[in-house]
Structure 1
């Protein structure tokens, strides 16, 4: 009986730490300043990189295509925001584990989506 309880607890802990299936998330991709990146969609904010917190950016961030090709609002030199979809591996609690791919979208797509928050900036 004791072994069954321990096995159940360990199984729950292992399942809780595993990444979920890849998700397609679309919304405002923000880069307001160097090394700060996040995606805001209908469900909230997905942090991709934070400057100066002692952790590396989410794997895959550096392999995203040029997100400025279909519109980009500059708010701080070349930094700003655009509309994009990203394929993400996530973990419980809304943490991004890895970016698998991404694509820029026309700005009007995000502006027309009533489920999104207002654009950053």
Structure 2
């Protein structure tokens, strides 16, 4: 029958599409949210650095406005008005050429700096 190979192909394509959409499901990531200079943002968690935005790049996570003004909460300034905070965010992620990216930010909850300071899975912010 000719329909059996076609059915197998359709099933394989459907399975790969489901797997791709499952990997893009939002996940919770907690750690240091760092904004050291204008236009540069990343999250450092137990899995490393996740780039949100880089000055001069067209790549920026959707939903950056959901982060808000981190200096309004528990915050450490290190470069004039720029610095870092501790927080958790619901995000979608991606990886390209060994670099980890946050592609979308759905929500952000700022935490006390002490919470990240005490977390042994997080590196110290320099």
Q: Quick check: TM above 0.5?
A: yes
After TM superposition, list the pairs within 5 Å mapping 1:73-92 onto structure 2: 73-91=76-94
| Structure 2 CA distance for partners of 1:114 and 1:63, relative to 1, 3 Å | same
Look up the match of 1:39.
43
**8 Å contact 1:82–1:107 — kept in the other structure?**
yes
What TM-score, normalized to structure 1? 0.80
Shift in Å at residue 36 of structure 1?
0.9
Cα deviations by residue, 1:61-84 (Å, 9 ceiling, x for unpaired): 123232123322222221111111
Look up the match of 2:107.
101
SS at match of 2:71: coil
Q: Which has the higher contact order (CA 8 A, sep 6+)?
A: 1
Unaligned runs of 5+ in 1: none
Normalized per residue, which structure has more helix? 2
**8 Å contact 1:65–1:103 — kept in the other structure?**
no
- Which protein is bigger by CA-based radius of gyration? 2
What is the RMSD of the two structures over their aligned residues, measured on CA atoms?
2.3
What TM-score, normalized to structure 2? 0.78
Moved over 4 A (4+): 91-94
